[in-house]
Each structure stands twice: as C-alpha cells, then as structure tokens.
Structure 1
Amino acid sequence: MGKKVKQDLPLHKVIMVGSGGVGKSALTLQFMYGDFVEEYDPTKADSYRKKIALDGKECQIDILDTAGQEEYAAIRDNYYRSGEGFICVFSLCEFESFHHTQDFKDQISRVLDDDKIPFILVGNKADLVQNRKVNYNDAWARAEEWNCPYFETSAKTRLNVEEVYIVLMRKIQERKDIFKERERRNKKPKCMIL
C-alpha cells in the first residue's frame, strides 16, 4: 500500500514568437533558471519544461522558444498548432520588431483559426531606456486592439518576467476549464432510433 500513484500534472504549452534578437531566449532562460544570458545561439528552436505552482496547484509549463527565423512555413505552422498560448515579443529598442508583431499575430490566427487563443504582447529590453524606439501608448493600443494583455519586460533585470508566464498560464488554464465544462454538459445520454 506504500506505493505512491503518479499523478499526471496539467501541462500548459507556451510558444514564444517574435523577430530575431528581441530577447525571446533571454526571457525564457530568465524564467526557467533565473539567469540572464547575453549571448545566445539563435539558430534553432529549443523546448523547455518546468514544474511550477500556479495558484496553489502544481502544473508543468512547456515553452517552445522559436528561433525567430522560421523560413519554412510548414515548420512554423506546426509549431503554432502545438501551442495553447503565445507570448509575442518585440524589442522596445527596435521599431521594426514591433511592426512585425502584426505578422506573427496574423499567422497564428490563420493557422489556428481561433481569435480567442491566449496571447500576450511583450515589449522587452525595458532596461535600455535611452535606446527606446517604441512608445508605451502605441504598444498598449495594439494589445487593446488584439484584446490581450501587454507587458514591458527586461530579461536582464527580471522586470515582469515571472508575471508574463503566470498570466499566460492562467489564461490557458481558464480556457481548458471552459472546454472541460462544455464537454461535461454535452455528455448527455443519446438515444438512437434504428
């Protein structure tokens, strides 16, 4: 009787998207290990898994950190299909990367055909105030238009890093709870006439 039954923890699949060099990997590694990585080889996508407590309940987060240069649409689309929530990152110091967030949002919406997928817009490199090119109001307005939260982060100082992942996981969990409830209600006995 002393055998402990292994319990499957809920798993939340998060995909990091954004242009190359905006700090997707730095944010992911800061969240996973509490380390700031200045130099990172962005040539491939990496996957990370971590057990965390979300609102007092244990769960796992699986983060797919895309390389930012998914030239092959088929590979990119497969990444998107596997996601339950997305963190779309741009650099506050590079207007072009902010401009490209619309492309990522459009691609995700097209592949998933779902405008309610949990999504967070993130302006990274908030510590580099002197180099800022994207103003807060523009980024906030885009998040409003997309009906999603907006955070400004710094992978270097850890500003809002934890919060971004926690908020997204809550959104993923809420969505799963809604689907479970719908499924439960739809499991009414069915009769067949032969």
Structure 2
Amino acid sequence: MRDLYIKNGQGFILVYSLVNQQSFQDIKPMRDQIIRVKRYERVPMILVGNKVDLEGEREVSFGEGKALAEEWSCPFMETSAKNKASVDELFAEIVRQMNYAAQPNGDEPCCASCAIL
C-alpha cells in the first residue's frame, strides 16, 4: 500500500524525532523505498528533525541531520510541531520544490497528486 502512495506522490517530507536516535535510523530505509519506487534520485524531498522545543532531550545533533541531508542532496530543517516553529516554512519549501520539479521538460509526465507520509 505504501508503494502506491509513494508512486503517486510528488514530494516527500521525511520526519524524525530529534529526541529519538532510532527514529533517525528508521528514516533511512524510508528514503531508500521512495527512490526505489520512484526510480529517480532527484525526488522533491526534505529531511526534517522535529521536536526542536525539547532541546535538553536531544539525541540527534543538528550536524547529523545536516550531514544526512547533504548526502541525500536535499534540504534540512528542524521544526517543532508543538509550537509551530518552522512548520509554515517547511510546507512552503516542499511546495516550491514540487513546483520546480513539475516544470515540463518533455521527457517525464507530471504527477497529479501529493502524498505526505
């Protein structure tokens, strides 16, 4: 079922918890699955560390997230859903990426939907 959502999605926000190292590790196979299903490396995607409001409980450093995003060639942000820190900017950025990727180049058909997992 997840493959179908990925196949039809135009952009992806990969979110892990800054206070849970395991969630950071678990996000890597998700990105691999997206690339496998889409059969394309340059899928609009943002890596997001959430719960920045819990700085004292942090298990994943800013540097770790930034390094992974650089490895994947995607933007990186830290947010807080609790106090809405950088949430609007996050969605604006993924929409910007999706709009840029949807520019017709004659080779690829444009998708008709967006899935946020």
Q: TM-score, normalised by structure 1?
A: 0.54
Unpaired segments ≥5 residues, structure 2: 107-117
Determine which structure has greater relative contact order: mean sequence separation of CA pairs < 8 Å that are 6+ residues apart, divided by chain length. 2
- The separation in 2 between residues aligned to 1:84 and 1:136, in whole angstroms, is 27
- The separation in 2 between residues aligned to 1:139 and 1:133, in whole angstroms, is 11
Per-residue Cα deviation, 1:162-194 (whole angstroms, up to 9, x for no partner): 0111011001101112xx2x23xxxxxxxxxxx
Higher strand proportion = 1
In structure 1, the residue matched to 2:67 is 141
- The separation in 2 between residues aligned to 1:148 and 1:112, in whole angstroms, is 16
- Which residue of 111, 114, 121 maps to 2:37? 111
- The separation in 1 between residues aligned to 2:58 and 2:97, in whole angstroms, is 29
Instruction: Give the aligned residue type for 2:85.
Output: L
Q: Are 1:174 and 2:93 matched, yes or no?
A: no
Equivalenced residues, count: 107
Note the 1:42-57 alignment, pairs <5 A.
none
Structure with bigger gyration radius: 1
In structure 1, the residue matched to 2:54 is 128
CA RMSD of aligned residues (A): 1.1
Give the deviation of 1:82 after TM superposition.
Answer: 1.2
Q: Are 1:157 and 2:83 matched, yes or no?
A: yes
- The separation in 1 between residues aligned to 2:35 and 2:67, in whole angstroms, is 19
Identity in percent: 41
Q: TM-score, normalised by structure 2?
A: 0.88
Higher helix proportion = 2
SS in 1 for 2:59: coil
Per-residue Cα deviation, 1:83-121 (whole angstroms, up to 9, x for no partner): 000000000000000011111000111111111110000
Give the deviation of 1:157 after TM superposition.
Answer: 1.0
- The separation in 2 between residues aligned to 1:135 and 1:103, in whole angstroms, is 20
- The separation in 2 between residues aligned to 1:139 and 1:100, in whole angstroms, is 13
Unpaired segments ≥5 residues, structure 1: 1-74, 184-194
